[in-house]
Chain A
Amino acid sequence: MLAYVVRRLLATIPIMALVAVFVFLLLHMSPGDPAVVIAGDFATAAQVEEIRTQLGLNDPLHVQFVKWTADLLRGDLGNSIYSGLPVSRLIGQRIEPTLMLTLTTMVIAITLAIPLGVIAAWKVGTWIDRAVMTVAVLGFSMPVFVLGYALILGGSVRLGWFPVQGYSSVFASVPGFLRHITLPALTLGLVYMALIARMTRATMLEVLNEDYVRTAYAKGLPTSKVLIKHALKNAMVPISTTIGLGLALLIGGVVVTESVFAIPGLGRLTVDAVLRTDYPVIQGVILVFSLTYVLLNLLIDLSYVLFDPRIRY
């Protein structure tokens, strides 16, 4: 197991290197010149050149890449072209809202989706199954921003229960945090929930037809025990995979959700940086997202051991 973990961790190095090369090239080959944006309307061509030189944008691409990589290996993600602030500080300011939004979303989505998927499979063909699947299809089809605005209208404007926007740190006030995070987490959670619920139902349907499930019923075990202990546990491997893959979806959704609810997280940092071609910030954020995604997938792979004793690393 340890050897496997080490092997997988080592494999992240070439993956991250590839991500770094890809992101760097993609950004520098796409249109947009930050020096022109910074220089403004009154600047002469010479002034734009001066700014470009000062920012190092006139250096050949490979020189810029080597410099950026060397800084990266020293743990320095560089400074924002615009604000001049270290990218690590900008990311540091934004990690908590995004992390807490993602975690809360996952808690809401998983705790709703798995039981719903199990129930739908168990009651397959009945109105319960159809109702669960209708909710799942709706959830999967509804754009995040539409649901976000609908929840703002209902939860904030009409009922006045929740703030319209912003974020309150969990470390500053737990009630404040809960009030701010609920609507965004519900918004983002519905899509994620729909995905997991559908996968849970499909996998459970397969498992429920297995001989050992019939045997379990024959032994006289209660339905809840058969469903949870025997069937669900065996269905968890593909469900875990879906949870992991769905994280990519979640990261995309975070960008929109953070914009709708004005949450100062990494998603909004990414959008803002892309809109103004702030190369160091975009590169830094994408590296952080990629690393998180790779590590989470490793964790998901490791979790298979818990559900299937046949799997050994």
Chain B
Amino acid sequence: MTRTKMGLRSLSGLATGLALAPVLAAGLMAQPAQAQDGSVLRIVPHADLRNIDPIWTTAYITRNHGYLVWDTLFALDENLTVQPQMAAGHEVSEDGLTYTIALREGLTFHDGSPVTAEDAVASLRRWGARDGMGQKLMSVTESMEAVDELSFTITLSEPYGLVLESLGKISSNVPFIMPARLAETSPSEQISEVIGSGPFRFVEAEWQPGNLVVYERFEDYVPRDEPASYAAGGKQANVDRVEWRYIPDAATATQALLAGEVDLYEQPAVDLLPMIEADPSITVETVDPLGTQGVVRFNFLHPPFDNKYARQAVMHAVSQTDYMFSIMGNPEYFEEFCGAYFMCGGPFETDVGSEALREQNLERARELLEQSGYDGREVVILDPTDVPVAHGQALVTAQALREIGMNVRLAAMDWATMTSRRASREAPDDGGWNIFPTWWLAVDQLNPITNISVAASGDTAWFGWPDNPRIEELRDAFARETDQDAQRAIVVELQEELYDFVPYIPTGQYYQPTAWRSNVSNVLVAPVPFFWNIEVD
């Protein structure tokens, strides 16, 4: 009997000992998590860096990566004014057709080669082939030539009011300056190396897609003397190393911030914010003063939304507050109402024509729907369930449409599938669609040229392909106009047309907070997360 007990004891003892050995060892060796080094800034970015070429893709994460590695000729400051960045200055000929741009002296790329005018010209050509605003600029550009080592000219075929605004474009695609040998890569191919002249150098050997991206301070970077302001001013790299640690799970990322395993969390999930805000060693702030615009887009190729009364009916049926609660939950982080297609707080803010969106009116919506001749056919709303911002908007739209008597089908899918399906021009029953939800950073929506969702050029317009010559006339007039007051007048006229035509529904303006620990200071207020200027204790 005694031996039996011993047998049992030894058996269970062996099991427990073996199984718990790593646990016990770990417990004994456990130490509180600490920052590795004062000069390392550890960030949880909003997405994984999948591509390294900010001209090849419009992804915001690649744009943010681009700002660390590359520099721009001009840049936008906090007054939304374009300032010289790599450029020492520029001159415009009397007829307004020739821009001569001089580069600052002493700028070098990370491979040690000097930055030259040839590099700038080649980079602008590649960007101009790819970016919407760049394409517009190139369409009025007769020639672009290097004059000498450090200056080049852009000669226009007609006056154009947005030359510097284009060269200082702050969001995707940003006209970054690359070495000519890389900039000569076809715009449809990715560049093979990440060599820039920006404040940080990309450490390719340590890049683990889906996990880690590392940047090191570029010692030979020459910052401007002015203080940093948005993308302009002196880009002081105050940390030796920036690490992007991608943590896909929001709850895990939140706990990692609370435990001090990371220093800054770019876009914490809104429902987890109370947990973060309760920690006094963490600052939660909205660093993007302009915010983001929710967008519900129609397909103009197929009924019922090929008819403007049907689109107006939806405009009357929805409520921005419903959308904003579905996206952000907390009214602290969204505008009660924003009727400006070109954003509240932007230089072209106006609420003209927005009455229909301000007051939800289901009765009026039903009347308009009847006027449109809606025949009860099924309306397909694409619903990317893995992206909360888009999923919430899809649900709110579906509910509003059902309330006015529309026959709605929510097509659930992941975001990647949605990006493919929204490109389909087929009928909704054949793999096409009627409505899809998305969002744009305000900085992309600030004027009629960068806000591509208002473009109405038919086949060449953004997904949905609206066709409205009047809108295109006004956009062209805006681009040619050089006086900002005159541009504002054009925007007022344009917005009236937009509210009548309804290319999309602006579902509201919201602000994404960022969180960082107390060892981090000097975080720049800007619509793009910039990682210069920041200091880490």
**Contact of A50 with B by CB under 8 A:** yes
Interface-forming stretch among A12-20, A178-186, A241-249?
A178-186
Residues of chain B whose beta carbon lies under 8 Å from any beta carbon of chain A: 3-4, 6-8, 10-12, 14-16, 18-19, 22-23, 25-27, 29-30, 32-33, 48, 50-52, 56-59, 130-132, 172-173, 186-190, 192, 207-212, 245-249, 251-253, 255-256, 258-259, 261, 386, 413-417, 419-421, 423, 452, 459-460, 462-463
User: In the complex the two chains form, is A47's CB within 8 Å of B188's CB?
Assistant: yes
- Can you list 16 residue pairs at the A/B interface with Cβ under 8 Å? A33-B423, A36-B423, A40-B172, A42-B58, A42-B132, A44-B460, A90-B209, A107-B18, A119-B12, A152-B255, A163-B261, A165-B253, A178-B26, A260-B249, A262-B248, A264-B210
Q: Which residues of chain A in 81-103 are interfacial with respect to chain B, using CB atoms and an 8 Å cutoff? A: 82-85, 90, 93
| CA A68 to CA B419, docked complex, whole Å | 26
Is A164's beta carbon under 8 Å from chain B?
A: yes
Q: Which of A2-10, A110-118, A291-299, A300-308 contacts B (4 or more CB under 8 A)?
A: A110-118
Complex formed: what's the CA distance from A186 to B23 in Å? 9
How far apart are the CA atoms of A134 and B138 in the complex, in Å? 71
In angstroms, Cα B192 to Cα A83, docked, is 10
- 11 new A-B pairs (CB below 8 Å) besides A164-B258, A228-B11? A31-B413, A32-B416, A38-B56, A83-B50, A112-B16, A115-B15, A225-B7, A262-B256, A268-B211, A272-B210, A272-B248
How far is A277 from B419 in the complex, measured between Cα atoms in Å?
11
Query: Which B residue sits closest to A264, measured CB to CB?
Result: B211
Q: Contact check: which of A42, A179, A228 meets B30 at CB < 8 Å?
A: A179
CB distance A42 to B173 under 8 Å? Answer: yes
A41 to B440, CA, bound (A): 11
Find B423's partner among A48, A160, A162, A179 (CB 8 Å cutoff): A48
Q: Is A56 an interface residue (CB 8 A)?
A: no
In the assembled complex, the CB of B346 is this many whole angstroms from the nearest CB of chain A, namely 19
Q: In the complex, which of the residues B57, B172, B255, B386 contacts A275, with contact meaning CB atoms closer than 8 Å?
A: B386
The docked-state distance in angstroms from the alpha carbon of A299 to that of B417 is 40
Q: B30 to A162, Cβ gap below 8 A?
A: yes
Residues of A near B246 (CB, < 8 A) are 262
Say whether A140 faces chain B, with CB atoms less than 8 Å apart.
Answer: no
CA distance A31 to B426 in the complex (A): 15
* In the complex, the 4 A-B pairs of residues with the closest C-beta atoms, listed nearest first: A224-B7, A40-B58, A115-B15, A264-B211
- Which chain B residues lie closer than 8 Å to A261 at the CB level? 252
**Least CB distance, A165 to chain B, in whole angstroms:** 5
Cβ–Cβ < 8 Å partners of A276 in chain B: 50, 416
Total A residues in contact with B, Cβ cutoff 8 Å: 72
Residues of B contacting A104 in the complex (Cβ-Cβ under 8 angstroms): 22
A280 interface residue per 8 A CB criterion = no
Contacts A111-B15, A157-B258, A165-B256 hold; do A82 and B131 have CB atoms under 8 A apart?
A: no
- Measured CB to CB, the nearest residue on chain B to A90 is B209
| Chain A interface, >50% SS class | helix
Contact residue among B33, B130, B172, B186 (Cβ-Cβ distance under 8 Å from A163): B33
Of A93, A116, A178, A275, the residue contacting B414 (CB under 8 A) is A275
Q: How far is the CA of A32 from the CA of B431 in the complex (A)?
A: 12
Q: For A115, what are the chain B residues with a Cβ–Cβ distance below 8 Å? A: 11-12, 14-15
Contacts of A182 in B (CB 8 A): 22-23, 26
Contact across chains for B256 and A164 when beta carbons are under 8 A apart: yes
Are the CB atoms of B8 and A42 closer together than 8 Å?
no
Per the bound structure, the CA–CA distance linking A165 and B149 in Å amounts to 50
Known: A38-B57, A152-B255. A165 touches B247 (CB 8 A): yes
Contact B261 A164 (CB under 8 A): yes
Interface string of A174-199 (1 = CB under 8 A from B): 01001101100110000000000000
Most buried by B among A41, A107, A181: A41
Contact A179 B29 (CB under 8 A): yes
Q: A82 to B49: give the CA distance in the assembly, Å.
A: 9
Q: Which residue of A lies closest to B58 (CB)?
A: A40
From A164, A166, A222, A259, give the contact of B7 (CB < 8 A). Answer: A222
With a cutoff of 8 Å between Cβ atoms, the chain A residues found around residue B192 in the complex are 84
Would A37 and B4 count as touching, CB distance under 8 A? no
B259 touches A163 (CB 8 A): yes
Whether A40 contacts B57 by the Cβ 8 Å rule is yes
Q: Which single residue of chain B is at the shortest CB-CB distance from A123?
A: B8
Residue A65 at the B interface, CB < 8 A?
no
User: Whole-angstrom distance from the CB of B337 to the nearest CB of chain A?
Assistant: 26
A192, chain B: closest CB distance, angstroms? 12
Answer whether residue A156 sits at the interface, using C-beta atoms and an 8 A cutoff. Answer: yes
Contact A157 B255 (CB under 8 A): yes
CB atoms of B32 and A160 under 8 A apart: yes
Interface positions of A from 242 to 270, Cβ below 8 Å from B: 259-262, 264, 268-269
Task: State which of A82, A107, A186, A275 has its C-beta within 8 Å of the C-beta of B209.
Answer: A82
Question: CB-CB < 8 A to A224: which residues of B?
Answer: 3-4, 6-8, 10-11
| Docked pose: A20 CA to B66 CA in angstroms | 37
Q: Give the CA-CA distance A149 to B251 in the complex, in Å.
A: 8
Q: How far is the CA of A80 from the CA of B208 in the complex (A)?
A: 12
B residues in contact with A107, CB < 8 Å? 18-19, 22
